[in-house]
């Protein structure tokens, strides 16, 4: 019988500080290296990999419906911003096939750690032509922006922007199960794309807390514990990651693969990423320079951010087509 507290909660406060210091001491050669072009399928992105019709949103809650009175970005209200949405049919069949291929190939560059997600390949856009071009595609960004409720660009913090997660059951009797601990993300606009089919694994449910962060108590989740119904390969769960506690249950068998993409709203310099969140992953020293670069990138005008991507700006008017 599973209990609500089966999943551990990721370290908060002083515990996270400790992780940051530990991460600072681990030699960088053992940590995630740039995996290199061998991991690249060299497949180009094609907007035909998106479905022609708008994706279907199943379960949908705004930040206001989740219990937040205000939004953390000045340009949108808590009513406008999506907190959680189940998304199906975003990609065409061929799109799912290509995404799966690209993410399988990136597994050779994955590393295992005791961080929130045990086994993953970070900065996936750096190693995959397909993912890099997809994140730069206006059609893709527009589709995600409509789900989110605000115009988006890829998150400028490269290592936080794209990640492929690989979950397996424990490989030996004593081994720890790979899980996604209960956590909130360092970024706010997050698309979690499931790239395994239902028959390929057991367990591994994406769970989330249907309430504001301040009510989250792992020992008393009650009615607010929700399990995502995203099941088919290519389905996704969009979340306002910094304000929705979520996690992935341990696997009983098989393999579960997911692609997690983070975005930023370029019309607001507000960003919830915390130095200590990033440093708990990478170590303090390795976080300092990218941190200051992030602050500079966030301060750029929206038009400039879109110009750098080489696409026409996505405006609030473009979002008017409601899904």
Ligand X SMILES: O=C(O)CCC(=O)C(=O)O
> Is 258 one of the binding residues for ligand X (CB under 6 A)?
yes
Which string of x and - marks every residue 217-246 that binds ligand X (by CB under 6 A)?
-----------------------------x
Number of residue whose CB is nearest ligand X: 258
Q: Tell the smallest beta-carbon distance from residue 258 to ligand X (Å).
A: 3
Q: Tell the smallest beta-carbon distance from residue 22 to ligand X (Å).
A: 20
Q: Tell the smallest beta-carbon distance from residue 209 to ligand X (Å).
A: 12
Residue number with CB closer to ligand X (278 or 309): 278
> Is 248 one of the binding residues for ligand X (CB under 6 A)?
yes
Look at residues 250, 244, 182 and name the one whose alpha carbon lies nearest to residue 213.
Answer: 244
> Is 260 one of the binding residues for ligand X (CB under 6 A)?
yes
Which of ligand X, Fe ion, none interacts with 208 (beta carbon under 5 to 8 A by kind)? none
Q: Which of residues 3-22 bind ligand X (CB under 6 A)?
A: none
Q: Which of 165, 178, 188, 305 binds ligand X (CB under 6 A)?
A: 165
CB-CB contact of 305 with 45 (8 Å) = no
Helix then strand then coil, in percent of the chain rounded to 5, is 35, 25, 40
| Three-state secondary structure string covering 262-294 | EEECCCCCCCCCCHHHHHHHHCCHHHHHHHHHH
Question: How many residues contact ligand X, by CB under 6 A?
Answer: 11
First to last CA, the chain: 38
Q: Tell the smallest beta-carbon distance from residue 255 to ligand X (Å).
A: 12
Residue number with CB closer to Fe ion (49 or 246): 246
Residue number with CB closer to ligand X (258 or 305): 258
Pairwise CA distance, residues 84 & 241, whole Å: 9
CB-CB contact of 118 with 110 (8 Å) = no
Task: Report the DSSP pairing between strands 206-209 and 256-264.
Answer: unpaired
Q: Tell the smallest beta-carbon distance from residue 55 to Fe ion (Å).
A: 20
Q: Which of 62, 128, 145, 192 binds ligand X (CB under 6 A)?
A: 192
> Is 206 one of the binding residues for ligand X (CB under 6 A)?
yes
Q: What is the DSSP string of 87-153?
A: EES-B-HHHHHHHHHHHHHHGGG-EE-SSSBSEEEE-HHHH-HHHHHHHT-HHHHHHHHHHHTS--E
Look at residues 102, 80, 116 and name the one whose alpha carbon lies nearest to residue 189.
Answer: 80
Q: Tell the smallest beta-carbon distance from residue 265 to ligand X (Å).
A: 19
> Is 55 one of the binding residues for ligand X (CB under 6 A)?
no
Contact residues toward ligand X (CB under 6 A) are: 117, 163, 165, 180, 185, 192, 206, 246, 248, 258, 260
């Amino acid at each position: 019988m599973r209990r609500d507290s089966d999943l551990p909660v990721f370290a908060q406060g002083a515990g996270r500080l400790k992780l940051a210091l530990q991460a600072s001491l681990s030699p960088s050669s053992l940590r995630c290296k740039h995996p290199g072009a061998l991991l690249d399928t060299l497949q180009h992105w094609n907007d035909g990999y998106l479905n022609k019709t708008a994706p279907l949103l199943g379960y949908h809650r705004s930040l206001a419906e989740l219990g937040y009175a205000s939004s953390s970005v000045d340009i949108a209200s808590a009513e406008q911003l999506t907190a959680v949405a189940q998304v199906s049919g975003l990609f065409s069949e061929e799109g799912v096939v290509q995404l799966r291929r690209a993410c399988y190939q990136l597994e050779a560059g994955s590393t295992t750690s005791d961080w929130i997600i045990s086994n993953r390949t970070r900065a996936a856009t750096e190693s995959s032509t397909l993912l890099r071009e997809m994140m730069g595609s206006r059609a893709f960004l527009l589709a995600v922006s409509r789900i989110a409720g605000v115009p988006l660009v890829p998150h400028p913090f490269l290592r936080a922007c794209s990640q492929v997660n690989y979950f397996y059951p424990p490989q030996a009797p004593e081994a720890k199960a790979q899980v996604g601990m209960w956590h909130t993300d360092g970024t706010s606009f997050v698309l979690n794309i499931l790239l395994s089919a239902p028959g390929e694994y057991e367990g591994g449910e994406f769970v989330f807390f249907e309430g504001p962060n301040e009510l989250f108590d792992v020992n008393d989740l009650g009615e607010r514990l929700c399990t995502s119904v995203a099941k088919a390969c290519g389905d996704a769960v969009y979340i306002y990651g910094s304000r929705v506690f979520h996690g992935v249950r341990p696997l009983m068998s098989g393999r579960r693969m997911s692609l997690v993409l983070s975005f930023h709203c370029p019309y607001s310099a507000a960003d919830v990423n915390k130095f200590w969140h990033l440093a708990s992953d990478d170590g303090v020293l390795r976080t300092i320079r990218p941190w200051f670069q992030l602050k500079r990138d966030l301060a750029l005008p929206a038009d400039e951010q879109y110009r750098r991507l080489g696409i026409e700006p996505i405006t609030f008017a473009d979002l008017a087509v409601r899904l």
